[in-house]
Amino acid sequence: MGYIVPIGPYHPSLEEPVHARLYTEGELIKDAEIFIGYNHRGIEKLAMQKNIIQTLVLVERVCGICSHSHAMTFAMAVENAGGIKPTKKGEYMRVITAELERLHSHYLWLGIALHIIGHDSLFMHSWDDREAIMDILEDLTGNRVNYGMVTIGGARRDISAEQAHRTLEMLDKIEESNKVLCDFLLNDKTVALRTQGVGVLTTEEAIELGAIGPHARASNVPIDVRIDAPYSSYDDFDFQKCVWPSGDVFARVVVRVLENFESIKIIRQALDSMPSGPINKGNSIPVVKPGEYMNMHEAPRGQLSYKVVTNGTDKVQRVSIHVPTFKNAPTIPTMLRGNSVADAGLIIASIDPCFSCMDR
């Protein structure tokens, strides 16, 4: 006999509201549907009523995990629309913050995934490393969430020699810990039993459904905006795309652990070759000439896009935000089919969803 099993909109394994409807036969999921739209906050409408600096603060509130990604992408779109060139040092500080945020996001997701599969000791190990990353973000920006690092024309805060030294010390610690974590995840039987062959998304399905970010790379789709369409100062740094062929939850775990090493490489290179000069072009509210531009950024969850229309005033006429979770959510029913109800929470969480971003 078949049953319809609802998961959400509120569920212990999913910290944000989404509704999954599972069509089951016993424990087997035969089909699934995803329903979204429980967290709409009207941010795009609010952005039309505020000046550019106020909007920069506003878009950071789209998401608490990838807040810098939103501010950075909005700023790049405004700068490109208005022909404003950020300072080189400001660009480097943006990249350092972006990669620290990626580390923070990946460790947060790894901890949640390990908690869902019941491996709480490794969950605590992962979040201990995350805490060290957040301490450095607080040291550099003054905040643990919503860092306020970006301004139009560069960054708001410089980095001292002492802060650079503390950051490098933290990276050394995290790199060694990440090696242990990577070895453990690749060889641990509990992790393998709960993740290998679970929630498979093939390469063909990932391409057909438009998956992006680590979610796509875990299905052997080698896409990364930082390399495919370099922006800011990413073309100054040497790093690689991390891909894995199996397309299951295990692959999504491995890709994020491997990407931690690449983020560490980028931050070290940026600190070692930090340009001299000003961090920004001043803190006045900019008046941007009429224009429109779409900018992309490889946020921790994948490609984040902002389209901005400016009208020659200190406000933006339109801000259109396209977030990674909205692009990855359509893959969830495909991944759920053929799996057990017990794995549904883990499979949904494996895309590293941010429904707060998606619903805005």
| pLDDT per position as a tens digit, 192-234 | 888 898 889 999 999 999 999 999 999 999 999 999 999 999 9
How does pLDDT run across 283-313, given as a tens digit for each residue?
777 788 888 889 999 999 999 999 999 888 8
Distances (CA, A) of 20 to 1, 14, 127: 20, 11, 28
Fold adopted by 41-349: Cytochrome-c3 Hydrogenase; chain B (1.10.645)
The reported pLDDT for the residue numbered 65 is 86
- The band of 358, judged by pLDDT with boundaries at 50, 70 and 90, is confident
Q: Residue 84 burial (CB < 10 Å; 0-12/13-18/19+)?
A: middle
- The band of 350, judged by pLDDT with boundaries at 50, 70 and 90, is confident
pLDDT at 1 over 80: no
Token pair 């036969």 is found at 25
User: Which residues partner with 319 through β-bridges?
Assistant: 308
The reported pLDDT for the residue numbered 221 is 95
Can you list the pairs that 23-31 forms with residues at least 24 positions away whose Cβ atoms lie under 8 Å? 24/341, 25/1, 27/340, 27/341, 27/342, 28/338, 28/339, 28/340, 28/341, 29/336, 29/337, 29/338, 29/339, 29/340, 29/341, 29/344, 30/2, 30/337, 31/333, 31/337
Using CA atoms, how far apart are residues 153 and 175, in angstroms rounded to an integer?
32
pLDDT at 13 over 70: no
The reported pLDDT for the residue numbered 207 is 95
- The band of 250, judged by pLDDT with boundaries at 50, 70 and 90, is very high
- The band of 150, judged by pLDDT with boundaries at 50, 70 and 90, is very high
The reported pLDDT for the residue numbered 71 is 94
The reported pLDDT for the residue numbered 272 is 94
Q: Percentage of residues in the chain with pLDDT exceeding 90?
A: 54
Domain residue spans of the chain = 41-349
The reported pLDDT for the residue numbered 157 is 92
121-147 mean pLDDT: 90
- Structure tokens, 290: 């009429």
The reported pLDDT for the residue numbered 181 is 85
72 three-state secondary structure: helix
The reported pLDDT for the residue numbered 307 is 93
Lowest mean pLDDT among 31-35, 120-124, 159-163: 120-124
Do 218 and 351 meet the contact criterion of CB atoms below 8 Å apart?
Answer: no
The reported pLDDT for the residue numbered 12 is 65
Is the model more confident about 7 or about 69?
Answer: 69
Using CA atoms, how far apart are residues 239 and 237, in angstroms rounded to an integer?
6
Who's near 7: CB < 8 A, 6+ residues apart? 14, 19, 20, 21, 22, 344, 345, 348
pLDDT at 126 over 90: no
pLDDT at 81 over 90: no
- The band of 90, judged by pLDDT with boundaries at 50, 70 and 90, is very high
For the chain, the average pLDDT equals 90
The reported pLDDT for the residue numbered 138 is 94
82-89 mean pLDDT: 91
pLDDT at 360 over 80: no
How does pLDDT run across 315-349, given as a tens digit for each residue?
888 999 999 998 998 999 999 998 888 888 889 88
